[in-house]
Amino acid sequence: MSAPSLVTDSLSAQLRERTRAAHERAESVPFITDLMHGRLDRGAYADLAAQQYGIYVALEAAGAELVGAPRGSNLVFADLTRTPSIEADLAYLYGGHWRERIDVLPAARAYAERIAQVAGDLPRYAAHAYTRYLGDLSGGQAIKRLVQRHYGLGEEGVAFYTFTGIAKPKVFKDEYREQLDALALSPLEIETAVDESNVAFELSTALFAALGGRHSA
């Protein structure tokens, strides 16, 4: 378990500050830097989308279980749902039989399985939702522009990064952080959430490394 902060901060602040190093490690994996600099090909981007699919299926199945629950339902927003968007991207990138064509890596399966394993634990669900969705609304927007530029994509193929129901991502992210803090987790639950968010970044790092084994500049 990570060391508790000496400063009493909100859950959202603790998540932001105490996962920074793990976040930076994930962003620095050569596969990601090569992809973002246009040194790979469209197939590498398609493979990334394919690996993300099962992760979001697991995450959004967990979120569906929280709808109407006494705690946690405030973290579930229809406008964040990514699974249909990934399906649209995969149909465009791989064709109509994409389910038979994608090759899911063990690292992606491990990530999805971890989410399914901890889905019933609210602090851990919150950690995974925070890590994925706020990342998609932040760095994901830069990724969208870069892959469009480098790999000749228009709006098709990047639906995952397009949040049609969220006109102002910055405002929405602030609201989401407020909803995280409104969970009023205990100090122990906050520790659990921080630890799990670091696990999520480690799983992302492992996945990106595995993708790098398939696609290199």
List the structure tokens of 178. Answer: 């407020």
List the structure tokens of 111. Answer: 């990530």
Specify the pLDDT at position 6: 44
Per-residue pLDDT tens digits for 124-150: 999 999 999 999 999 888 899 999 999
Q: How confident is the model at residue 9 (pLDDT cuts 50, 70, 90)?
A: confident
Supply angle C-alpha 190, 170, 174, rounded to 5: 30
Please report whether residue 186 resides in a domain.
yes
16 is in an annotated binding site: yes
Q: Kindly state the average pLDDT of the residues 85-96.
A: 98
23 is in an annotated binding site: yes
| CB of 185 closer than 8 Å to CB of 123 | yes
Specify the pLDDT at position 1: 56
Please report whether residue 146 resides in a domain.
yes
Is residue 42 exposed (0-12), middle (13-18) or buried (19+ Cβ within 10 Å)? middle
Per-residue pLDDT tens digits for 28-70: 999 999 999 999 999 999 999 999 999 999 999 999 999 999 9
Please report whether residue 179 resides in a domain.
yes
Specify the pLDDT at position 61: 98
Residue appearing with tokens 């995969």? 90
Q: What is the total residue count of the chain? A: 217
Q: Kindly state the average pLDDT of the residues 80-108.
A: 98
| CB of 206 closer than 8 Å to CB of 17 | no
Specify the pLDDT at position 8: 52
CATH number of the domain enclosing 102: 1.20.910.10
177 is in an annotated binding site: yes
Please report whether residue 115 resides in a domain.
yes
Residues 81, 83: Cα–Cα separation, whole Å: 6
Count CB neighbours of 212 within 10 A: 19
Specify the pLDDT at position 33: 97
Structural domain span for residue 182: 40-212
